[in-house]
Amino acid sequence: MKLASFSVLNYRSIVRTEKLILSDSTILIGPNNEGKSNILHALVTALTILRRLAGPMRILPARLAKGEIPGFMYRSLYDWEDDFPMSKQEKQFNGSSVFKLDFVLSEKERESFKTRIGSSLNGTLPIELTVGKSEALLRVTKQGKGAAALLKKVDKICLFVSRLLDHVYIPAIRTADSAQKVVNGMLERELAQLEDDPEYQAALEEIAKIQKPVLEKMASSIQTTLSEFLPNVKNVSISIAEEDRHRALRRCSITIDDGVPTALERKGDGVQSLAALSLMRHASEANAGNKDIILAIEEPESHLHPRAIHQLKGVISDMATKGQIIMTTHCPLFVDRVNIGSNIIVTKNKAVPAKSIAEIRNVLGVRAADNLQHAELVLVVEGDEDRIEVSSLLSHYSPLIALALKQGTLSIDCLNGGTNLRYKLSMLREALCNVYVLLDDDKCGKESFERAEQELLITQADVTFTVCAGMKEAEFEDFIDPDLYYDAIRNGFGVTVRAPKFKSNKKWAERMKDVFQQHGKQWTAKVQIQVKQVIADLVEADPDKALLKAKRDAFDSFLSAIESKLLECSSATASK
């Protein structure tokens, strides 16, 4: 079972939301004090009330079967004075907050619903919860045949939902105490299994026996002291309740060894936050059993270092494969750049699905360069000459890529040096760009990639190296047929690239350096740029003759990767 959609009316600052379609991972984004947290709290409140009804509701079956919920069952979750919009309280003295949840059931769950409830569903279970000052009403808002029968089975429906679905709320403030409570709860459940063990009970009795004379001695000492001031005191006794003795044996401490063993409460806010979040997640999964889980997370980036945020993003992505995640965030890194509609923009106390990356950038205050404003994918190459060559060749061999470049949905950006990769990737990620990288297959390119990969800025799936068969190192110019630029280099620099030294298995720049030196010419950084520019202009003028046939495999693989990325981005955008 999954929560397919949610909407709320008149809750705190939220007057109304559209029907929000929820995916495996739904992101609530927007400026501060615009209502993100209130929408998340509204969802958690509604789910918690449903869960609560699955327990004590059986004590009032007549009312609850009709969906009537007395105030005492939800008062700790909803306070009308605080939770009904204050701007409306004077005119709507008996106003209510309305929460609408649509659950989607699998075929097996639909069959189970029919068996347990005695009614059929078409795959969706719509529930509406109306909460007021002193009472609430829960209704199944299914239309058509069978709707009336469902209205009389609300109690059974709540039990059915509770057997299949649970939720966990993880607040923004996550401290060592939060983690401690989770661990203590887990420990208490595990140790509870021992309390029926005869050896464990005998040990507790022995502890009580050993403690008894100590407690009696303390009581006698206190009595003597008190009698000096209160002559009427005849006796003082000190005892430890059995439950307190059990509780004392359930306490523990958490020590984190990340180089130096340290108590969790003495770690920094970031470590405490991550520990609490991870333990809450673990506890929810451990307790879920066969239930589906909804994780409601508030600002997962709170207190975290950028590297830790990158790590957490990977964890959350993994969590989304095991259950639904709904979270609030200010961090661009958590934005879903592929499924645009999974990002819910919350501004002016209203919530609507995002329609474009540009809209999300505007809400988050992200400034992107003009050439990136509409880009769905940014291809990063090493230099300006590479940009010219790559753009020309990709456009020539792929109509899809040519159109994307023309429309601006694909943009090509330059590193101007492989060592700038980490900085460039960080900037592009913050600008909410999907990124693919083409790197020279040399020492600099490999080391730059490894450093960026270690910082979780890139993966193997997002890079192509200019690998050439038979060469230890290679760069993009190694893909280009020397016949294309033979005349231009000979006429412009007095050098022939048909010399034996140019036929070695060194990368292009080193082969060109050897040839220039063989001809008594200087090979400087300035000359290298000039030669590269000549070649780039020739590739741009005649891309059909540019590529070496013997080295087309790597380029064709690169071209396919860019087409796949573009199709992935455009397909996700179109589906929303």
More confident residue, 536 or 299: 536
Q: Which residue has the tokens 């760009």?
A: 433
Tell me the HSE value of 229 on the side-chain side, using a 13 A CA sphere.
4
**Predicted confidence (pLDDT) per residue in 348-364, tens digit:** 778 889 888 778 888 87
In the predicted model, what is the mean pLDDT of residues 217-243? 80
pLDDT at residue 381 greater than cutoff 60:
yes
In the predicted model, what is the mean pLDDT of residues 84-90? 91
First to last CA, the chain: 22
In the predicted model, what is the mean pLDDT of residues 20-38? 88
Q: Quickly state the pLDDT bin for 534 (edges 50, 70, 90).
A: very high
More confident residue, 44 or 311: 44
> Considering the chain, what is the average pLDDT of its residues?
84
Least confident range from 16-30, 175-189, 362-376: namely 175-189
- pLDDT more than 90, % of the chain: 36
Question: Do 248 and 241 form a contact (C-beta atoms < 8 A)?
Answer: no
**Predicted confidence (pLDDT) per residue in 119-168, tens digit:** 888 888 999 999 999 889 999 888 777 677 777 788 888 889 988 988 88
**Which residue segments constitute the domains of the chain, with CATH numbers given?**
2-165 (3.40.50), 181-267 (no CATH), 275-364 (3.40.50.300), 367-576 (no CATH)
pLDDT at residue 104 greater than cutoff 90:
yes
Question: Do 463 and 439 form a contact (C-beta atoms < 8 A)?
Answer: yes
What's residue 380's pLDDT? 93
pLDDT at residue 174 greater than cutoff 70:
no
**Residue of 351, 340, 405 lying closest to 572 (CA atoms):** 340
User: What interhelical angle do 525-541 and 508-518 show, nearest 10?
Assistant: 110
